[in-house]
Structure 1
């Protein structure tokens, strides 16, 4: 790279000429200076992306024509379309790579991520020693455009970041990340201060997380484990068509796409793109190879087979580390109904996959000694205790959530579940300071949303909290709608989003949302909560027999869940079954001896007249005043 001229006149970061990137015409000669002719240039801020082919000389020596041909093919099919689609411009071709500039730092990040994902997917079928892989560095700083080229310290930094990046990896400067408003679609590993060649000052850099790319392969990076959260990764492989006479691949591919999209809504999973898995289409699957080439902990595979007027397919989830099948299921449906049930089946498959992955990850976390835990493991341990509903376990869950936040202060999930912890503390009558705990629900959910504006649980719990504790129903509805729009496969968003409609008299909407939550999580840890909210909405809807049925289901799963007992007691009173209601009241006294109807009356979230009527029925059931 060429060094920048000795004298420049920087412009504002927002300054740009009419042509965007080309600013050559801004140069002027200054014949009064001692140097005789020093040029002055505008220096607009740009994101500089430098890409280089790993081991290009070796590849060319081994197969010159083939390597060059494949590189050209990548330029035409992947690199140029990605740059054009993200409004980037190549300003220098280096033979074994290129330098590109972007006006938007977010566009540069998206382009870098897309390039690595697509190139990796296309090259995976090549022998390892013949694969073309890129290193990419990205930086944000003022640059100089002159003579159809780009110059400056910012270009040098991007080039140095590229030189330390791992094969298939993207190393990004903190300077660029600081000017991107929303980084929620990416995950990064903090590499710390890197001492780069010929630069007098270290550069704080981050590795863009992607399957198969490890911080330990970053040149000059500390081998110390990052505090960033390590999430389990999963790939959904193309389903095999087992039909002998017909091609059902159209259905299999659409079904796989639905699963990938739905799994991507689960924020505790890293999901490999479909393009990276396509090379495994119609191939015998080797778990070791999947783990090595895609860098995942789990994969999903399946078969589709048409038999007469029916379509049968099987799905299985495999743990790459052991090669064992941890979950498998078969489905059978009429061919005429296949597209109508495809979405429903995909949702069911995704929830079961997620449940088994969470269970496996919890077991993995519980086997680890405390010193080796990271934020995700602390979170899993907390969730294992959160739903036991004895106060000792419940209290320990809070400490683990706090440790998760300490381990990775930028990880949104522990804050969201801590908000949920305070919500349950109030709902169960364990709070000694209602005002303080209700404020904590909002504060902690805000902490989660600040770190991840797309965290559906945080948005939904805040919406539920604003309605339940502050009677701010309009804000509550808006937050829950945002959660559902962001993550339509998130069962927490649906169940917390079911509360507010019921509070304000739209119980039918609450019922539909709680039913959707149950469809998404029929067997998960939260099922008792889903059943209770469905029962509560049936109570508010006046369908008391259904309220009784679902409240009993909730108590069967979690006998210590006080809210389910209260809904059951009030519903039994509503249909005149007073003796049964009094039995439920005795159970409630045993699990929550400090509960008082008069205290609850001040915070009952139901609009009138439902609020007063509910409180009256709790008293009639025998709950202490």
Structure 2
């Protein structure tokens, strides 16, 4: 092609790609393919048509499109992400946008750095986000109801010069929904994440103590209804990492971050804390709190009150008093409880779960009025049953009922103890009505409890209310977006879609859950049943084959031992039908 024959034009280029597509294809090939084809047909192509975009080409997991106007390109990108966020699809897209000179080939194909930069920006975008070049930004800034966050100069692969980029953020009227970028939009009340406290004691064995301090402060803050508090499981994913608080704010969708450290020596404790505004990086306050071990709860209260005074000074006195409730008067029992939590959070580890149960029981022996320890002990039985380590014998059911009853009697305003007891009663003791009442009560006490929303989601499934279950799992994932148990929340969402007859969506959510936890039996069961009901028998048979390796005794006739207490007989029958079609023997 001679220079005279080369055709060039200025174009706005949109590049889109599915996050984690390869892994999803490995887990559920047919379901993932069907879901993405539906996404292109029902969302991407109609949006391009509305905004006068031209589809250049599609790949297995992405698409390239051309627009005459960068304004139209950004509007299309926002439209796609906005609709995807409000849909039931488990997919997240990354989108990159660039305005540049492109070469037009004889077949209408476009080439050049104008295309390459858009593709590289897409790769650098947040999951669920939009990243635009400075050229696009200069054309659209001030013309759309969205905001922009400078991401600095990006050194893009195979692009000679760095490209200054901007992430699209929610605007004044919230036209970009909460999955438009990696971080959901800020809630309409002060929002905070408490990072793991550093152990300054010089003794690795004291790590559990530093973790316990941070967790207790999270619990105290979460009792304030005036605040939005990220759950422990998500904030603790930053443990041991050098973090940028601005990035933490983006990833968790919070305005404030509390950092701190704990030094325990002999009978003395020092807690330091600093509160940072994630939007600006400004330190709002920093202080240290010293006292004896017997003063530990007072020190925690001082940290909590300092945070609340800085970010939400107008709170009710009743909330302040509730946040000051001491879990126990026994420091020995409290120490055992913290050690139990450290073991409990070693997920899917039978030996650690058994040790956690022993420690919680020991804590209640030392302090028979320790409500949280009873609730945590009950939750150990839930984990054991869900992993197939126990079969819920009459003695085990009686013990779970005893633990739950004690936790509720002693912790009348302890939302965590009540929520844990409610799920244990419903799942292990099969007291569905009693468990449902307790999870609802826990949510009324503390709307910041991701554990309560998560447990309440499963209870809603068992009650035959899958639409409400989807809402509860979504709330749990918002409160704890990086939770190690998010796979269980995704599996719960898959169950909800399954019982609504949405088998493709159910299979996709199950594949998402199995992406990070291939041995998750809850996800394998619902994935197998969903694919079978959707007619994808090969995928269903593969899931059942793996499921039977993990649990050789599983049969259609024994499903009730691992499934929850479904109130609607037709739900259990549908589940059995799906797994029967998937090849699970009778």
Common fold: TM-score over 0.5: no
TM-score under structure 1 normalisation? 0.42
Higher relative contact order (CA 8 A, sep 6+): 2
TM-score under structure 2 normalisation? 0.45
* The structure with more radius of gyration: 1
